[in-house]
Structure 1
Amino acid sequence: MFARLGRLVVHHPWKVIGLWLLVIVAVVASAPKLTSTTDQSEFLPSHYESIQAMELQQKAFPQSAAPAAIIVFGRADGAPLTEGDSAAIAAVGEQLTAANLEDVIGLQTVPPSENKLIQIIAVQLTKMTNQGDTRQGDAVEALRTALKRQVEGTDLKAGITGQAAQMLDQQESSAKGMAIIGVATIVLILVLLLVIFRSPVIALLPIVTIGAVSSLVGGLIAMVARAFDLQLDSSVNSILLVVLFGVGTDYILFLMFRYRERLRAGEDPKTAMVGAVARVGEAITSAAGAVIIAFTALTLSTLGMFRALGPALAIAVAVALMAGLTLVPAVVSLLGTKVFWPSKAWKQEPTGARFAALGAALGRRPGAFAVVSGGLLVALGVLAFGFNPTFDLTSGSTSDVSESVVYNKELLRGMPAGATQPSEVLLRADGGVLTVDQLAHFHTALDQVSGVGRVGEPKLSDDKATAEFQVTLDSAPESDVALATVRGPLRDAAHAAAPAGTTAAVGGMTAVFVDFQDAMNHDYAVVFPVAAILIMIVLALLLRSLVAPWYLMASVFLGFAATLGAAVLVFQRIQGDSGLIFTLPVIMYLFVVALGTDYNILMVARLREEAREGRDPREAAALGLRHTGPTVAAAGVILAGTFASMMLAGNNVLSQMGFAISVGIGVAAFVMAMFFTPALTALLGHRAWWPGHGDRTAQEVKPGNGDSLRAGSGGTEARPVAPGGGESR
């Protein structure tokens, strides 16, 4: 199959390139705009209490909404506000109202805080109608410009925070982060490929080809998102960028190593490329299949953000695979050996002394290598039990010097920490209207809850059947303490105090985070096992073994635990953060489990090839590490490096993601695939391939026993050839 594909591409390169261009133009021209959202409530299904409360609020109070932005005032010298200052602040509010700024529909000046350190103006903005609506952000920018003029030359300082301001600053921070990530990723790929191949042509090959198909990926994802009404998280663009370039470069790297190997064997360039596609095709297709399965398994998630992210990343990997098997071979077949210009090193077989020595040592003492590498994974994995999820995405995804973060801290000098996003408790009469006594009793019950700073007076709907109580918590709305307050005391008190014939529901952003936590616990119990089973099926079909998939997946999950433990060690233990972003385990699962399986497939495929040459298990492991070690190492460095570039984005969310994924890929490449997997395979010997004959030579396998031997190119070679693997550089 892959030999036929290789011949088709190599003999008709211009047609292949032209077809790619036609598809790209057609998809880009017809695809809708790819949009994303930062509203976490959009990702939860409707049966969660926070969503039910939101729907009840929208129905009962269609014109009501919490302030979209908050203007925070204080004295520049930090002293308490005077009566003159308060009068000046009221005047600022009147002048901003008189300015009739677009999409600013209301400003309400609130009395100073009890300690007189701050005073606020609550700002109502036009509601956003869709994910791409920028009116609130534009209004905040206009307010900031007007506010700066109003306080200039006075004793006051002022800034804008609140949800709309935080979203604006987050978008600006993300745009800067994307630019940094993009430049760092491209520079890293160029430098590493120059070091590996000593050729600017090969270094530019993935940049040009993957850059060309990136618009195709964005268009396909936008089409799928619209067709299935999927909500994409705002972080998807950063992740897509590094996935497409990182994984795509890996697949191109595997192909070029094999191409160079065939040239060194004396084949002409076109025959060498056909052979490279034939040999590497099954391995990278199986590896990509495992990644795609892991990603698409997220469609089983109860959270919309993961149901959308999984297919989006699966599309990116599928396109990268197709480009690696068709577009890149077509381009290289036109260039021939000029692709290595100006280097002549491709003509000479290197000694590979370092990996030869490592392979020899592993072949002599596989047990020691298995214990040391496995022990490292277990030691780091133990630290994973200290993982604490945090929902503080807003401050974590923007710079500490951004206005919304600075004035959110200023706000906390005079108001409870939950003032920026108060919880909302809705009380609904199932029939009739709510009485004054019922409202008073319910208000008292909420006010007595531990962790509640203030309960506002109830606001009644027009039909007097629904009341809304604004509950300000003592703790920041995304903190562990706030989540515990809503999950336990507040919801318990609201449900218990609801009079007969009424229903209570607790909503607001903290309640959304509480429900998010419950949904993710459900996903861990469903998505992870399903993905593991499907990946094991792929491994079993590829390797024709029921034993190997078990220890390969065991090593991958050890790598997952070790990666999470390393992140806990660095960010929670050393850096002192309260926790790691709550999505980190799932993001790590996407890349560490899926891509860790990639490298295991490449290594085991080479081990099988060496075994089929008649070598015993230990010798096969030694030679497998010698020949495939450089390929896995180069691919691991490139992929880990592209994800590490996320740490340059300047915010904690992307820093944690970049660190964890790059460490996970490093563990997968340099611990699992390079040492742990070949050591276990050597120790298990022939049992690793049971009940098949994956390690038998052609002479040992009797005809008709079900073990088909693969030919390298059109079935012309006598010996079986395993796809994947590589060579020493």
Structure 2
Amino acid sequence: MFARLGRIAVRHPWKVIAVWILAAIAVVSAAPTLTATTDQSAFLPSHYESVQAMNLQQKAFPNDVTPAALIVVERADDTALTAADSAIVTAIAGELSGANIKGINGIQATPPAENRMIQVIAVQMAKVTDPTDKTQSDAVKKLRETLGERVDGTDLKAGITGTAAQLLDQTESSEKGMAIIGAATIALILVLLLIIFRSPVIALLPIITIGAVSSTVGGLIAMAAEAFDLKMDSSVNSLLTVVLFGVGTDYILFLMFRYRERLRAGEDPKTAMISAVTRVGEAITSAAGVVIIAFLALTLSTLGMFRALGPALAIAVAVAMLAGITLVPAIVSLLGTKVFWPSKSWQREPRGLLFGALGAALGRRPAWFAVASGGVLVTLGVAAFGFHPTFDLTSGSTSDTSESAVYGKELLKGMPAGATQPSLVYLQSGSGLTDEQLGVYRTELAATPGVGQVGEPRLSSDRGVAEFQVTLTAQPDSDAALATVRGPLRDTAHAAAPAGATAVVGGMTSVFVDFKDAMNHDYTVVFPVAAILIAIVLALLLRSAIAPWYLMVSVGLGFAATLGSAVLVFQQAQGNSGLIFSLPVIMYMFVVALGTDYNILMVARLREEAKEGHDPKQAAALAVRHTGPTIAAAGLILAGSFASMMLAGNTVLSQIGFAISVGVAIAAFVMATFFTPAVTALLGRRVWWPSRIGDESTYPTEDAEWVDESTWRTPQLTNRR
């Protein structure tokens, strides 16, 4: 099949390119607009308590609008506010309200804090779930500008925090970070490919090709989202960019290294490309198949954000794979050896001193390499047991000097930490709620450990539902706040409900609590199913019932080693309370799925060498020599791309970038280059059972000798090599 694909791409290149262009035009013209949501509760199933609370809120208080921004006002000399100061704050609130800023529904000054260190002006805005809607962000920008004018000339200083302001600052920080990441990724690809191939043509090939198919990917994802009612997270676009460039560049590298190898073997350019597609096409397709399966396994998640993200990334990988075995061969067949211009190094077989020496050493002592590389994986993996998830993302997703962060801290001078996003407790009774019941219930809630204050209840029109605004003593997304909601607050809310009444706890902290429970469930479902499906793909690729077992063990060790590395750096060395809650799933998507590509490429070459008559140690030596440079180049580019995320300047992206880059590096430079070939050499021909590949009758004779410490020479193999 792959030989046929190669012949079609090489013999009819313009037709192949035309098909891609027509397909892109058709998809883009027919695709709907891809919309995303920032409403985290939209990703949870309806049986979770936070979602039930949200549904009850919408039913009982259909016109409910909670403050989206908080203006924190204090004296410039950090002393207590006077009565005159408070009057000025009230006047400022009135002036801001009279400014009629678009997107703001109401502005109300609240009484000063008990210690009079701060006074808050609550700003109500219409709820926004579409991240493309900039109404709230524009309103915050205009509000900050107007506020500065009103405060100027007084003894006061003021700033804006709250969800809308935090989202604006996070978006600006993220956009800046993604610009840095995008520029660093492209620069890294260009520089490394220039160093490897010494050709600007090949260096530009992934950028141009992947950029050309990106619109097709976006259109297909939009179609899938509309057809299956998938709710896309706002981060989908940035992840798609990284996946497309990372995976696409890897597949192009796999192909071009083999193309160059066939040219050096004496084949003409067109025959060499057909041979390259024939020999590496199965490995690319199988590697893509593993990644696609891993991503599609996320459809089993209870979280809508992952159920949608999985198919989206699977579509991106599928398109990158098809482009790698059809579009790229067609383009290269038109260029021929000019694709290497101006370098002539493609004409010469390199001495391969580094990987030749490594392969020779591994071939002689596979046990040493297996123990050393396995020991590294196990040692780092032990640290993974110290992993602690945290939802405290606000402080890490923007700069500490941003206005929302600065005045979020100033708010704590006079109010509990949870004031920015209070929890909401809803008490419901079919027979109506009395004032006495409400008073007793409020007292019980206020006595709950971790609760700072409880507001007066707000009743629905029929007195059947009461809303209590509960301000926690901890930041709403902190571990302490989650512990309060999960335990004492929910327990008290449920137990203290009057006879015949029920209670549910809502708010963003409650959403995070349910997120954590949902993800713990997903770990026990998604990961095992994905592992089984990946093992099946490996068994089909290798025609072996043995190899998939130790390959999956190595992948598991790589995952544990990656998580352990992140724990050591961020929890142990830097003293953070934990790692972002979604890191294991993100690692699963990128480290396990994409890292397995390198394992597949190495094992496919090991199988190829075994089929050509080499014994297990010889096959391992040759596989490392010929495939090691490809894996090293691909791993370096992919790891470097993700490492650029650490330049974005916030903790969240730093953790993600570090974990993925280290995971890819472990997969490429430890697992695929050393551990897998060493274990394969130790297990011998039984690795390929029930296939008869590597039967001892096909091995070279005992008088075989090393040549350049990297290849074997026997009478029947001298001409081939």
TM-score, normalising length: structure 1: 0.94
Aligned-pair distance for 1:691? 2.0
1:659-698 → structure 2 map (5 Å cutoff): 659-696=658-695
* 1:677 partner SS: helix
| Amino acid aligned to 1:339 | V
| Amino acid aligned to 1:362 | L
Are the equivalent residues in 2 in contact too, given 1:113–1:414 (CA < 8 A)?
A: yes
Match of 1:415 in 2: 415
Aligned-pair distance for 1:335? 0.5
> How far apart, CA to CA, are the structure 2 residues paired with 1:529 and 1:232?
24
Are the equivalent residues in 1 in contact too, given 2:65–2:125 (CA < 8 A)?
A: no
1:634 corresponds to 2:636 = no
Aligned-pair distance for 1:579? 1.2
Are the equivalent residues in 1 in contact too, given 2:37–2:129 (CA < 8 A)?
A: no
Match of 1:450 in 2: 449
> How far apart, CA to CA, are the structure 2 residues paired with 1:93 and 1:463?
32
1:551-700 → structure 2 map (5 Å cutoff): 551-696=550-695
Q: Deviations over 1:126-149 (max 9, x none)?
A: 232644322222211221111111
Match of 2:207 in 1: 207
1:100-139 → structure 2 map (5 Å cutoff): 100-128=100-128, 130-139=130-139
> How far apart, CA to CA, are the structure 1 residues paired with 2:692 and 2:402?
62
Match of 1:334 in 2: 334
Aligned-pair distance for 1:697? 8.2
More displaced 10-residue stretch of structure 1: 314-323 or 684-693: 684-693
> How far apart, CA to CA, are the structure 1 residues paired with 2:136 and 2:299?
32
> How far apart, CA to CA, are the structure 2 residues paired with 1:129 and 1:590?
26
Match of 2:707 in 1: none
Aligned-pair distance for 1:563? 0.3
More displaced 10-residue stretch of structure 1: 506-515 or 223-232: 223-232
> How far apart, CA to CA, are the structure 2 residues paired with 1:273 and 1:400?
53
Q: Deviations over 1:434-466 (max 9, x none)?
A: 112221221121111111110111110001000
Are the equivalent residues in 1 in contact too, given 2:233–2:309 (CA < 8 A)?
A: yes
| Amino acid aligned to 1:361 | A
Aligned-pair distance for 1:477? 0.8
Are the equivalent residues in 1 in contact too, given 2:68–2:162 (CA < 8 A)?
A: yes
| Amino acid aligned to 1:316 | A
> How far apart, CA to CA, are the structure 2 residues paired with 1:628 and 1:696?
23
Are the equivalent residues in 1 in contact too, given 2:369–2:678 (CA < 8 A)?
A: yes
Are the equivalent residues in 2 in contact too, given 1:478–1:513 (CA < 8 A)?
A: yes
1:540 corresponds to 2:539 = yes
Aligned-pair distance for 1:174? 1.9
> How far apart, CA to CA, are the structure 2 residues paired with 1:76 and 1:394?
26
> How far apart, CA to CA, are the structure 2 residues paired with 1:397 and 1:14?
47
Aligned-pair distance for 1:110? 0.8
Match of 1:190 in 2: 190
More displaced 10-residue stretch of structure 1: 103-112 or 582-591: 103-112
Are the equivalent residues in 1 in contact too, given 2:214–2:244 (CA < 8 A)?
A: yes
Are the equivalent residues in 2 in contact too, given 1:101–1:139 (CA < 8 A)?
A: yes
* 2:505 partner SS: strand
Match of 1:159 in 2: 159
Are the equivalent residues in 1 in contact too, given 2:35–2:130 (CA < 8 A)?
A: no
| Amino acid aligned to 1:620 | A
| Amino acid aligned to 2:421 | Q
Q: Deviations over 1:537-560 (max 9, x none)?
A: 000011111111010000001000
| Amino acid aligned to 1:523 | D
Match of 2:461 in 1: 462
* 1:503 partner SS: strand
Q: Deviations over 1:244-302 (max 9, x none)?
A: 10110000001001111111111111111111111110000000000000000000000
> How far apart, CA to CA, are the structure 1 residues paired with 2:269 and 2:194?
21
1:303 corresponds to 2:303 = yes
Match of 1:505 in 2: 504
> How far apart, CA to CA, are the structure 1 residues paired with 2:127 and 2:603?
55
Alignment: residue pair count: 702
* 2:36 partner SS: coil
Are the equivalent residues in 2 in contact too, given 1:72–1:407 (CA < 8 A)?
A: yes
Q: 1:200 to 1:535 in 2, by over 3 A?
A: same
Q: Deviations over 1:667-695 (max 9, x none)?
A: 00001001111111111112212222233
Are the equivalent residues in 2 in contact too, given 1:181–1:238 (CA < 8 A)?
A: no
Match of 1:71 in 2: 71
Q: Deviations over 1:128-171 (max 9, x none)?
A: 26443222222112211111111122221111111111112222
* 2:232 partner SS: coil
Aligned-pair distance for 1:39? 2.2
| Amino acid aligned to 1:460 | L
Match of 1:710 in 2: none
Match of 2:254 in 1: 254
> How far apart, CA to CA, are the structure 1 residues paired with 2:403 and 2:234?
20
More displaced 10-residue stretch of structure 1: 638-647 or 289-298: 638-647
Q: 1:22 to 1:226 in 2, by over 3 A?
A: same
> How far apart, CA to CA, are the structure 1 residues paired with 2:39 and 2:126?
16
Match of 2:238 in 1: 238
Are the equivalent residues in 1 in contact too, given 2:38–2:130 (CA < 8 A)?
A: no
Are the equivalent residues in 2 in contact too, given 1:105–1:126 (CA < 8 A)?
A: yes
Match of 1:35 in 2: 35
Are the equivalent residues in 1 in contact too, given 2:38–2:129 (CA < 8 A)?
A: no
> How far apart, CA to CA, are the structure 2 residues paired with 1:381 and 1:659?
16
Aligned-pair distance for 1:104? 1.2
1:151-550 → structure 2 map (5 Å cutoff): 151-429=151-429, 431-550=430-549
> How far apart, CA to CA, are the structure 2 residues paired with 1:186 and 1:25?
25
> How far apart, CA to CA, are the structure 2 residues paired with 1:131 and 1:649?
20
More displaced 10-residue stretch of structure 1: 390-399 or 109-118: 390-399
* 1:68 partner SS: strand
> How far apart, CA to CA, are the structure 2 residues paired with 1:30 and 1:611?
48
* 1:281 partner SS: helix
Aligned-pair distance for 1:574? 1.2
> How far apart, CA to CA, are the structure 1 residues paired with 2:666 and 2:278?
29
* 2:474 partner SS: coil
Are the equivalent residues in 2 in contact too, given 1:612–1:697 (CA < 8 A)?
A: no
> How far apart, CA to CA, are the structure 1 residues paired with 2:468 and 2:116?
25
> How far apart, CA to CA, are the structure 2 residues paired with 1:421 and 1:113?
17
Q: Deviations over 1:366-404 (max 9, x none)?
A: 111111111111111111111111112233222222221
| Amino acid aligned to 1:162 | G
Percent pairwise identity: 74
| Amino acid aligned to 2:54 | M
More displaced 10-residue stretch of structure 1: 392-401 or 580-589: 392-401
* 1:182 partner SS: helix
More displaced 10-residue stretch of structure 1: 183-192 or 597-606: 597-606
> How far apart, CA to CA, are the structure 2 residues paired with 1:577 and 1:585?
17
> How far apart, CA to CA, are the structure 2 residues paired with 1:513 and 1:412?
22
Are the equivalent residues in 1 in contact too, given 2:36–2:130 (CA < 8 A)?
A: no
Are the equivalent residues in 1 in contact too, given 2:613–2:698 (CA < 8 A)?
A: no
Match of 1:713 in 2: none
* 2:124 partner SS: strand
Aligned-pair distance for 1:643? 1.1
More displaced 10-residue stretch of structure 1: 647-656 or 514-523: 647-656
Aligned-pair distance for 1:648? 1.6
Match of 2:94 in 1: 94
> How far apart, CA to CA, are the structure 1 residues paired with 2:83 and 2:692?
88
> How far apart, CA to CA, are the structure 1 residues paired with 2:270 and 2:319?
24
* 1:95 partner SS: helix
Are the equivalent residues in 2 in contact too, given 1:76–1:156 (CA < 8 A)?
A: yes
Are the equivalent residues in 2 in contact too, given 1:378–1:558 (CA < 8 A)?
A: yes
Aligned-pair distance for 1:573? 1.1
Are the equivalent residues in 2 in contact too, given 1:544–1:694 (CA < 8 A)?
A: no
> How far apart, CA to CA, are the structure 1 residues paired with 2:481 and 2:204?
50
> How far apart, CA to CA, are the structure 2 residues paired with 1:376 and 1:78?
54
> How far apart, CA to CA, are the structure 1 residues paired with 2:177 and 2:385?
31
